[in-house]
């Protein structure tokens, strides 16, 4: 039975990936931090067969212990401080977790692998935020990186460190440059979920309006369930490599609002949306659209959920949750 260790097991992607690997017959291990993580119960309920190990990406010894105890064939490094807006207010801790944390994880894998560094396959969760200021569209694996936030800069560090460990030690270390992917499990601080929750509550008369920041930025949004499949496919290849994972379509925040409100029967929604400078960013990533042709050719990967289906899925899930009183 193959085994895998997932960091970031309590997050959106960690949960979908754990479900996927369990379905495939893996022995799945997850790294969980904190003396009383409030999301431990959720993980234990959704994926009870996952073995949890205490550890923190900033604590190399805890990662080495997790590697020793899990002894995995595959490691998926999904743990990070992942909220871009938060990264300006907490730049040092973001650099520590999202940047240096990758180096800690690579070292833990390298030391555990011993004489055969390529025996453990490693996945790094790189991000389209690394592209930042638009250099070309669509963005591919060869597009110049120009990050626009402490989060983006930290991801660039982790990305190049992953490539460096592949080139220096022959590690099977791959990097997935994933564009935004969402789901009903998306954290409520991210714009898609913030909108789907608000629209659901507005439809039920529980909320009057929603306050947002920049409505004009554009993102390439896919469904998280599709994207964890791409992660797994990367680690099944003979050679490690870097891959863009995206839908190839781009939509604005306004487009998302429009579909979400229309889904509950409101066509004229402008008066329900307020803007507040509090939600504007010091530097914005204006336009993301990915070219995933390499992943299509080499991994046979394509997205299965359209943007409209994604918006409907998220609004419906939040209506059900609000009705259930969650
Ligand atoms: P989430 O924010 O949902 O999950 C982040 C995870 O990281 C949580 O499990 C969190 O655990 C964990 N974590 C945070 N700090 C630490 C730490 N110090 N030590 C160990 N674990 C820690 O992110 P997603 O699931 O959406 O994303 C997964 C990864 O993919 C992240 O690295 C993200 O940056 C990257 N990414 C995401 C994209 C997306 O659109 N979703 C796109 C591109 C990249 P805790 O419960 O303890 O807070
Ligand atoms: P992003 O996602 O920064 O792309 O990072 P987020 O949903 O936070 O922002 C997307 C865009 O929406 C605009 N926006 C708002 N964003 C939030 N969160 N809240 C608001 O009220 C709001 N109003 C407008 C933002 O300015 C931005 O342009 C996500 C994360 O998952 C990262 O970890 C990941 O690496 C990238 O996607 C790819």
* pLDDT tens, residue by residue, 222-271: 999 999 999 999 999 999 999 999 999 999 999 999 999 999 999 999 99
Q: Distance from the CA of 127 to the center of ligand 1, in angstroms?
A: 11
Domain boundaries of the chain, sorted by first residue:
3-181+222-245, 184-219+249-287+304-323
- Cβ atoms of 237 and 294 within 8 Å: the answer is no
Q: Which CATH superfamily is domain 3-181+222-245 in?
A: NAD(P)-binding Rossmann-like Domain (3.40.50.720)
Task: Kindly list the distances between the CA atom of residue 16 and the CA atoms of 77, 78, 184, 203, in Å, as whole numbers in the listed order.
Answer: 14, 12, 11, 28
Per-chain mean pLDDT for the chain: 98
Residues near ligand 1 (Cβ within 6 A): 7-14, 31, 33-34, 37, 39, 56-58, 78-82, 97, 125, 127, 178, 180-181, 187
Residue whose CA is closest, atom 1 of ligand 1? 11
ipTM of predicted assembly, 2 dp: 0.99
Q: Mean of the pLDDT values across residues 91-97?
A: 98
CATH classification for the domain delimited by 184-219+249-287+304-323, as one of 3.40.30.10, 3.65.10.10, 3.90.25.10, 3.90.1170.50:
3.90.25.10
Q: Give the strand pairing for 121-127 and 172-178.
A: parallel
**3-181+222-245 and 184-219+249-287+304-323 share one fold:** no
pLDDT of residue 260: 98
Q: Mean of the pLDDT values across residues 155-166?
A: 98
pLDDT of residue 152: 98
Q: Distance from the CA of 164 to the center of ligand 1, in angstroms?
A: 22
Residues near ligand 2 (Cβ within 6 A): 82, 84-85, 127-129, 179-180, 189-192, 194, 212-214, 217, 219, 253, 279, 281, 284
Q: Quick one: pLDDT band at residue 8, thresholds 50, 70, 90?
A: very high
Alpha carbon of residue 178 to chain centroid: 7
Question: What does pTM read for this prediction?
Answer: 0.98
Q: Distance from the CA of 253 to the center of ligand 2, in angstroms?
A: 9
Which atom, in ligand 2's list, is nearest to the CA of 189?
A: 18
């Amino acid at each position: 039975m193959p085994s895998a260790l997932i960091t970031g097991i309590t997050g959106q992607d960690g949960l979908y990936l754990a479900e996927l690997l369990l379905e495939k017959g893996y022995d799945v291990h997850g790294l969980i931090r904190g003396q009383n993580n409030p999301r431990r119960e959720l993980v234990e309920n959704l994926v009870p067969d996952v073995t949890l190990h205490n550890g923190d990406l900033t604590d190399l010894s805890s990662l080495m212990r997790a590697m020793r105890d899990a002894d995995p064939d595959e490691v998926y490094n999904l743990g990070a401080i992942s909220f871009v807006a938060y990264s300006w207010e907490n730049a040092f801790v973001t650099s520590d977790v999202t940047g240096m944390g990758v180096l800690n994880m690579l070292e833990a894998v390298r030391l555990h692998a011993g004489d055969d560094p390529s025996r453990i396959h490693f996945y790094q969760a790189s991000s389209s935020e690394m592209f930042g200021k638009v250099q070309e569209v669509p963005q591919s694996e060869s597009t110049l990186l120009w990050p626009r936030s402490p989060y983006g800069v930290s991801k660039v560090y982790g990305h190049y460190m992953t490539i460096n460990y592949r080139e220096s030690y022959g590690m099977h270390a791959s990097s997935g440059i994933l564009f935004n992917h969402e789901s009903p499990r998306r954290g409520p601080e991210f714009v898609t979920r913030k909108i789907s929750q608000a629209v659901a509550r507005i439809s039920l008369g529980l909320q009057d309006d929603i306050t947002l920041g920049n409505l004009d930025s554009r993102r390439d949004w896919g469904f998280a369930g599709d994207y964890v499949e791409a992660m797994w496919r990367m680690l099944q290849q003979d050679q490690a490599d870097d891959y863009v994972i995206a839908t190839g379509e781009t939509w604005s925040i306004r487009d998302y609002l429009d579909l979400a409100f229309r889904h509950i029967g409101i066509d004229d929604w402008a008066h329900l949306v307020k803007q507040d400078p509090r939600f504007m960013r010091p530097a914005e990533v204006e336009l993301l659209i990915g070219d995933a042709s390499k992943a299509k050719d080499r991994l046979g990967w394509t997205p299965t959920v359209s943007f409209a289906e994604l918006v409907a899925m998220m609004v419906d899930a939040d209506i059900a949750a609000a009705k259930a009183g969650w």
